[in-house]
A and B are shown apart, each in its own frame.
Chain A
Amino acid sequence: MSRALQEPAAEVRPLLSVSGLTKDHGGGHGCHDVAFELWPGEILGVVGESGAGKSTLLDCLGGFAAPDAGRADYQSRLFGPVEIFGLSEARRRRLARSEWGFVHQDARRGLRLSVSAGGNIGERLMAGGARHYGDLRARAGAWLERLELDPSRLDEAPRQFSGGMRQRLQIARNLVTEPRLLLMDEPTGGLDLSVQARLLDLLRGLVRDLGLSVVLVTHDLGVVRLLCDRMLVMERGRVVEEGLTDQVLEDPQHAHSQRLVASILPV
């Protein structure tokens, strides 16, 4: 039904198509038989309680964990259509630092804390072969501004930044190579509400301007309502409901989704 609403043009294919993805951590933990499609320009929310397998799913897609079974077909700018779990490590890493971005909940995991903001943003460009210092600096400065960070802090290390600024810096570091696919794990986790709101606003604009496709893992349904086009609800490693965001949030079908929606705090 959601497919009928979107009705893609004939030649448009999903950017990422995942099927049968399974990663068993033992004892029913991990994710099981997960399937979804992510279309160009779309933001897909993945929600569920802690331990539902959301982060495992994202780690598999991001290359931080090897899945036990399943496939993920991705339309690459560099290599054409590829199955990402079957890619050679060299190619997968090349994609990961150019066409993909991974935003960690804890910005410290995604940043080099002792390296200046400019160096952090420039790293992916340097990995891609950029060797012009002035150029690197100019581009890093432009991305700081784009993420509403003060460009005069280009030479400061992220340890001197606040949590919200670090998160924006981490996003800038990922977006500098203009990726097509952004994987985000609780990007607003641990930030206070006004900082969250600003970050979400910024993200929405960036995704629209850059034509990004995003898989966004969160337990915050408010974030999903603000940002996501479609959402998956996961429970104990399985997808129990999938649909357009408004549809799922207004009229949840599965008992688990109903519980989640019912637990939203009225503001």
Chain B
Amino acid sequence: MTAESSRPRVPQGAGSARPGYNYAFLDEATKREIRRKLLKAVAIPGHQVPFSSREMPLPPGWGTGGIQVTASLVGPADVLKVIDQGADDTTNAVSIRRFFAETAGVETTTSTRRASLIQTRHRIPETPLAEGQILVFQVPLPEPLRFLEPRESETRRLHALAEYGSAYVSLYEQVARHGRIAQSYDYPVMVGGRYLMRPSPIPSFDNPKLDRNPALLLFGAGRERRLYAVPPYTPVESLSFEDRPFAVERSPQACDLCGATDSFLDEIVADDAGSRLFACSDSEYCNERQRRLGRSVVAP
């Protein structure tokens, strides 16, 4: 290897990246390490790969895992979308989008269709994803067996031996207590029939979207230092009992702003009298529908 080829190649962006920082904030060696770990994660769908998570300029719990994955992947040709609970205009989404616009000079968008790279917290967009797109999840707790097994050494062994009986114990407890599987978010899934995975705290409403999704799904847990992945078209099955099948909970309402009946709704207290408004949690999807209906767009 020559000195020339071992020198990090810094992408030259179309937009201007902020001087004084390396492209996309992280140094090239760190981004390379994350990409290598992501390749491993893609090779073993659903398996948690440890990585050397770095300090980021925001606290753990605010998406440091997702940001590091995005930073390692983003390039000048990318179009970046960032959502928080489905919305493009919440503090965290705005800040992370601006962070990459500044440090990587990348083009940003709110359009799910236009984006090549989407970082998300707690939702999968309503607009179906396509081949070639990458969805990056921010993950607070990556270990699906943590509820019943506090020891990391033991959970690793359970994954290695595919001993997932205890995962059903927590489902059993829910049915025994509530008469149904009451878990409405972070609902555990089996990836490719092999690894048990936490899909991050997305609503179980979004679980069916994980199954055989044409996009690449990447998961980053910054504080817990784990990466995992669901490659395109991987079968993802939500855990259930034979006589208590997995069912998506749908609200009986339609969106008050766009009338959608097929989207995940947020319940919003509208005034001091306690009246309530139901609106799509996916702001772009909602705005798009309002526009097509010829209404003046109201942000959910």
Contact = CB atoms under 8 A, between A and B. Distances in A.
A171 B148 CA distance: 20
Interface stretch (B70-78, B87-95, B172-180): B172-180
**10 residue pairs, one from A and one from B, having the closest CB atoms:** A127-B165, A126-B168, A133-B241, A126-B165, A132-B242, A119-B172, A155-B176, A90-B161, A131-B242, A119-B169
B163 interface: yes
Interface string A115-143: 11011001110111001111111000000
B237 to A, nearest CB: 12
A92 to B, nearest CB: 10
21 contacts: A89-B161, A90-B161, A93-B163, A97-B165, A112-B148, A112-B169, A116-B172, A118-B176, A119-B173, A119-B176, A126-B166, A126-B168, A127-B165, A128-B165, A133-B175, A133-B241, A133-B242, A133-B243, A137-B176, A154-B176, A155-B177
Interface of A: 89-90, 93, 97, 112, 115-116, 118-119, 122-124, 126-128, 131-137, 154-155
Contacts of A133: 172, 175, 241-244
Interface in B153-169: 157, 161, 163, 165-166, 168-169
Contacts of A90: 161
The interface residues of chain A, by DSSP majority, are classed as: helix
A90 B162 CA distance: 9
Contacts of B157: 89
B241 A132 contact: yes
The interface residues of chain B, by DSSP majority, are classed as: helix
Interface of B: 148, 157, 161, 163, 165-166, 168-169, 172-173, 175-177, 240-244
A132 B243 contact: yes
Contacts of A126: 165-166, 168-169, 172
A113 to B, nearest CB: 12
A151 B135 CA distance: 48
Contacts of B169: 112, 115, 119, 122-123, 126
Given A112-B148, A131-B242, A132-B241, A93 B161 contact: yes
B173 A116 contact: yes
Contacts of A97: 165
Given A127-B165, A133-B242, A137-B176, 20 more contacts: A89-B157, A97-B165, A112-B148, A115-B173, A116-B173, A116-B176, A122-B169, A126-B168, A126-B172, A128-B165, A131-B240, A131-B242, A132-B241, A132-B243, A133-B175, A133-B244, A134-B243, A135-B243, A136-B172, A155-B176
A124 B168 CA distance: 11
Contacts of B161: 89-90, 93
A90 B163 CA distance: 9
Contacts of A119: 169, 172-173, 176
A139 B141 CA distance: 34
A54 B32 CA distance: 54
Contacts of A127: 163, 165-166
B50 to A, nearest CB: 21
Given A131-B242, A133-B241, A133-B243, A123 B165 contact: yes
Contacts of A115: 148, 169, 173
A123 B244 contact: no
A127 B167 CA distance: 9
A97 B168 CA distance: 15
Nearest to B181: A133
A115 B240 CA distance: 18
Nearest to A125: B165
A90 B242 CA distance: 26
A133 B181 CA distance: 11
Contacts of A154: 176
Interface centre among A118, A126, A154 (most CB of B within 10 A): A126
B177 to A, nearest CB: 7
A116 B148 CA distance: 13
Contacts of B172: 116, 118-119, 122, 126, 133, 136
Interface centre among B169, B172, B175, B177 (most CB of A within 10 A): B172
Nearest to B149: A112
B181 to A, nearest CB: 9
A149 B173 CA distance: 19
Contacts of A118: 172, 176
A126 to B, nearest CB: 4
B129 to A, nearest CB: 30
Contacts of B243: 132-135
A115 B177 CA distance: 11
